[in-house]
Amino acid sequence: QVQLVESGGGLVQAGGSLRLSCAASGRAFSSYTMGWFRQAPGKEREFVAAFSWYGGSTYYADSVKGRFTISRDNARSTVYLQMNSLKPEDTAVYYCAAERYGSGRGLYNYWGQGTQVTVSS
């Protein structure tokens, strides 16, 4: 089992940047594929980015490609989401997720509590 705690959300103006962090507790962090998802008010939760447990592969939603970067530090059991050139439509609750030996865009069994990101125009 793994527990996830996100941090780093907040209010930022359009064009600004934020870095989200997700600290994982538990064992074998390096064997987990880590993902970021988001849910805006009135919308379904959507995939944002993922970092595979194997080979360092990364995946991004088209809407964030070139603006967001996912990274991980296995020694710190932490995954990050660097968000640049933020837009008002990026406003959402951002969730960290983990899946052992996950494929990246597949199902995730472990979720954090979420952190709010608000981008003002």
Question: What pLDDT sits at residue 1?
Answer: 85
DSSP output for 78-119: EEEEEE-S--GGG-EEEEEEEEET--SSS---EE---EEEEE
The pair phi, psi for residue 112, each rounded to 5°, is -85, -175
Question: What pLDDT sits at residue 27?
Answer: 87
Relative to beta strand 115-120, strand 10-13 is: parallel
Local mean pLDDT, 10-residue blocks, the chain (121 residues): 95 98 94 97 96 94 98 97 98 97 89 98 93
Question: What pLDDT sits at residue 105?
Answer: 81
CB 78 within 8 A of CB 24: yes
